[in-house]
Amino acid sequence: MDRIYFQNSRHLTLVGCFHPAESKAAIVMAHGFTNDKSSQGRFDALAESFNQRGYNVLRFDFSGCGESSTDILSTHNMIDDLHCALEFVKKNGCTAVGLYGHSLGGFICLKCDAPGIRTMVLTGAPTDYMKYDWTDYYSEEQLREIRAKGYLTAKDRTGQDRLIGRQLLRSFEEINQRELLSGIHCPVLLIHGNDPNDWEETQLLEKSKKGINLLPAGSQLEIIDGANHTFREHLDRVIEEANNWYSKHLPSR
């Protein structure tokens, strides 16, 4: 594994981990909301498994997250970052590329619209509008800040301050499923859990059930019984499903 640095189009530094392989195939991984390239160990395990199957793997911190340069989190910035990550693997000789995205990272994968993407595996991805009550997540002081500045300051899981833009919070309510999914040109594996105690994941699952037929032929919806939005207790199953999918749609040799 190599620690790597590259820039986005806004000349900010993105930090990642590149797992090289003797292959022209690569998987680029996109993490979730205010998370990082490790995703609390889940992306480490996934990347190691993909790499053992012969894939080059790039996992990286979106700008404003992890070790990458400070930035206001927005879908526009994250899409730009993902485009630059794709350019990085192509410059390193990878001609066949697949995406792996979790949660918000899955939505960013669907919005990326980059040429040459062979397939995607997305866990807990929003595929249609989601209505969140942000007062459940942020204080009144933080909500006043976002009204005044266009962003709010919140600590991530490591205690680092993150700048969450108004546009990012609004983007969940602005998703048009038909427009989003009809623009995809490669087969997609959507993986969801159905834990009845997880409101978010069960809502995401119901949205994807409605939208699966809008995706290209060969796309599939896989439901992991009992899994919640983190998939932490079912990671072995996620790894198995993802590897089987990539073997079929993104041969490493």
Distance CA 168, CA 164 (A): 7
Rg for the chain, CA atoms, rounded: 17
pLDDT in tens, 200-224: 999 999 999 999 999 999 999 999 9
- Looking at the chain, the whole-number percentage of residues with pLDDT higher than 90 is 96
Mean pLDDT of 185-195: 97
In this prediction, residue 252 carries a pLDDT of: 87
CB-based contact 12:42 (threshold 8 Å):
no
* 19 lies in some domain: yes
The secondary structure element, H or E, covering residue 224 is strand 220-224
CB-based contact 120:100 (threshold 8 Å):
yes
* 147 lies in some domain: no
pLDDT in tens, 129-173: 999 999 999 999 999 999 999 999 999 888 899 999 999 999 999
Distance CA 84, CA 15 (A): 12
* 161 lies in some domain: no
How does strand 161-165 pair with strand 72-73?
Answer: parallel
Its domain, for residue 204, covers: 2-129+177-249
In this prediction, residue 156 carries a pLDDT of: 87
Number of domains, the chain: 1
Distance CA 35, CA 44 (A): 13
- Domain of 95: which CATH number? 3.40.50.1820
Alpha carbon dihedral 161, 203, 234, 137, in 10-degree steps, equals 20
**Token reading at 151:** 């962003």
